[in-house]
Amino acid sequence: MITAKPESDHAASLLDIAVVGHTNTGKTSLIRTMLRSTGFGKIEDAAGTTRHVERATIFAGGEAILNLHDTPGIEDPYALHSTLQLLAARHKRLNPNELLEKFMADIAINDPLEQEAKVIRQVLRSDVLLYVIDVREPVLEKYLVEIEILSKAMKPIIPVFNFIAAHRAELELWRRKLAVFNIHASLEFDTVAFTFEAEKRLYQKIQSLAETYYSKLQRLIDHRAKVWRQLCRSGAKRITELIVAVACYREHKGSHAPAGHTPSPTLKLQEFIRQAEQRCLHDLLAMFSFSKKDIALQKIPVRDGQWQLDLFAPGVLKAYGLDVGSSALKGAAAGAGIDLMVGGLSLGAASVLGALAGTGWSTFKRYGKEIQAKIQGTQWLCADDNTLQLLYLRQQQLLDKLMHRGHAACHVDHVDPTPEAGELPSRWQEIINVLRQNPAWNKPSNARNHNTQYQSIESALVHALLRMPDGHQATTVSPG
C-alpha cells in the first residue's frame, strides 16, 4: 500500500529520504516510479515545476517503512554558495552542518534564496539524500557546487543516475567527477526504462547507509519482490486467458455463402478476436497502473489505450515474420480443418463410420457434437495458426514493455509499428491443437481450471511469456 500524505504530518519513527538535485533532473519522476503511480506531484519539461516539499510514504503491506520527500530544484547554487561562504567567514567556529543551520535561522520570508532554503531545511531533517542526476546534461560546475553544499549536511548521499539509456559515456564522466568528492556508492535508476532489479539495488544501497533501518528495509524489499512477481504473473495469466479464449472459439458457418462475399460469420469472428484483444489491453494497462492517457509504447502500435495496427490489416503477418501464404481466418469442416482428435483418431483422416465404430461411450460423450457435426457437414470458422501466433507475439511484446516502463514519462512516444523479434512457446502447435479440441474452455469454469491438461497449458504459456525456463526450447519468430 502506498499513500501520499501532507508534509505537516511528520512520522518521526520512519526513515526520511530527501530527493534532491538541480531543477528538472527527474526528482518527481523518481518518486513516481518508486510509488508505481503517475498521480504524485507534477511533471513538466519546464524547470522548477516542484515549488514546495511534498511527501509520500511507502508501505510494505500495512507497515509504513519510509518517507520520500520531493524537494524543489536548487535554482541558484552559486548564490547559495556565496552566502554560505560569507556566513563561514563571520562564524569560523561553526562546522559545515551548523553553517547550514545558521543559514536557515537567518533566512527571511521572500528571500531570493527561499527555494534553496526549502531544500536545505528538508536535507537537515532527513536521514539519507538521493541526489538525482540527468546524465544527458554536461558535468557543469554548478552541479559540483550543489554536491559540495549538500555534503555540508553530513548526511549519506546516493547519486541516482537518471535517463541512462544510450548515454554510457556521459555516465562514466559523471562517475569520475563524483569520485573527487569521495562519492562512489552511486546507482543507475532510469525512471522511464524501469527494471525491478534497479529498484531493489536502490533499497539495498539505502540499507548499507542506514543500518538502524536495515530490517525494515529488508521487509520492504521482500514485499516489493513478492508483489512484483505476482503482478508479472497476473499479466501473463491474463494474456494466457486471451490466447485460450481465441483458440477455443468457433463461429458457426452457414453451408451456403454468396460467391465473392465475405460471410458475416467471418466478420463476427474477427470482431470477437479484436474485442478480446482490446479487453486484454485495457486489463493489462490497469494491472500495471497505467491509463490510456498515460502511455504510448515504443515499437508497440498502441495509442490512447487502443491498438493502432489492426490484427487483420494487410502486411501485419509479414511484419511479424509469419507466413503470408495462408489466410488470416479459415473456414473448415469440424474434424478436418481444425483437426479434431476423437479417441486418438483424426476425423479428417478417417471415415466418419470408421471413427464411430472405433470409439467407446466415454469418447462419444466427449466428442458427440463434433461427430454429429461431421456427419451433417456442419462448418465452423476458427482462428488459424497465423492469427494466433500474431496475437501471442503482440501480447508478449506488450507485457515486456509494461514490465520495463516507469511511471515518470509524461511525453508521448512516437509509435513504431515494426515489431521486435519474438518467441513462441515450446510445443506451441501442440498447445493450439489441444485448445481447438476443447471449445468449452473458451470461458473460465471450475471444470476447465481444474483440468490437469489445461493447467499444463496455462503453466507453459505463463512461463513462456515471462521468459522463464520450462525445460523446452522456444520457437523464435523474427521480423522478415
Can you tell me the mean pLDDT for 241-250?
Answer: 94
DSSP of 292-331 = TTT-B-TTS-EETTEESS-TTSTTHHHHTT--SSS-SEEE
137-141, 230-234, 298-302, 303-307: which range is least confident on average? 298-302
pLDDT at 10: 41
Q: How far is CA 416 from the centre of its chain?
A: 18
pLDDT at 185: 74
| pLDDT tops 70 at residue 197 | yes
Contacts of 383 (CB under 8 A, 6+ apart): 246, 247, 249, 269, 273, 329, 391
List Cα–Cα distances, 5 to 67, 70, 217, 320, in angstroms: 9, 12, 20, 47
User: Kind and range of the H or E element at 422?
Assistant: strand 422-424
- Do 170 and 135 contact (CB within 8 A), yes or no? yes
pLDDT at 271: 87
pLDDT (tens digit per residue) in 110-152: 899 998 999 999 999 999 999 999 898 888 889 889 999 999 9
Predicted confidence band at 49 (pLDDT cuts at 50, 70, 90)? Answer: very low
Can you tell me the mean pLDDT for 210-216?
Answer: 94
- Do 277 and 391 contact (CB within 8 A), yes or no? yes
Whole-number percent of the chain with pLDDT over 90: 40
Cell of 466: 515471462
Tell me if residue 210 falls in helix, strand or coil. coil
Predicted confidence band at 269 (pLDDT cuts at 50, 70, 90)? Answer: confident
Cell of 83: 552566502
Predicted confidence band at 73 (pLDDT cuts at 50, 70, 90)? Answer: confident
List Cα–Cα distances, 315 to 270, 312, 324, in angstroms: 16, 9, 8
Contacts of 469 (CB under 8 A, 6+ apart): 463
Burial environment of residue 449 by CB neighbours within 10 A (0 to 12, 13 to 18, 19 or more) = exposed
- How far apart are alpha carbons 20 and 153 in whole angstroms? 13
- How far apart are alpha carbons 96 and 22 in whole angstroms? 21
User: Residue 2: which of 58, 54, 41 has the closest Cα?
Assistant: 58
Q: What is the pTM of this model?
A: 0.75
pLDDT at 316: 61
| pLDDT tops 70 at residue 295 | no
- Helix 114-125, helix 96-106: angle, nearest 10: 130
Plot region of 182 (φ>0 → left; ψ -120 to 50 → alpha; else → beta): left
31-45, 410-424, 447-461: which range is least confident on average? 410-424
User: Kind and range of the H or E element at 187?
Assistant: strand 187-188
pLDDT at 232: 96
pLDDT at 475: 52
pLDDT (tens digit per residue) in 74-87: 889 999 999 999 99
- How far apart are alpha carbons 480 and 323 in whole angstroms? 10
Can you tell me the mean pLDDT for 386-395?
Answer: 90
Can you tell me the mean pLDDT for 357-366?
Answer: 48
| pLDDT tops 80 at residue 64 | yes
pLDDT at 39: 67
Can you tell me the mean pLDDT for 152-173?
Answer: 89
| pLDDT tops 80 at residue 366 | no
Predicted confidence band at 378 (pLDDT cuts at 50, 70, 90)? Answer: low
DSSP letter, residue 22 = B
- How far apart are alpha carbons 67 and 13 in whole angstroms? 10
More confident: 48 or 251: 251
Burial environment of residue 102 by CB neighbours within 10 A (0 to 12, 13 to 18, 19 or more) = middle
Residue with cell 503517475: 38
Residue with cell 454429429: 372
Cell of 85: 561562504
Residue with cell 498447445: 431
Predicted confidence band at 327 (pLDDT cuts at 50, 70, 90)? Answer: very low
pLDDT at 461: 97
228-237, 247-256, 367-376: which range is least confident on average? 367-376
| pLDDT tops 70 at residue 91 | yes
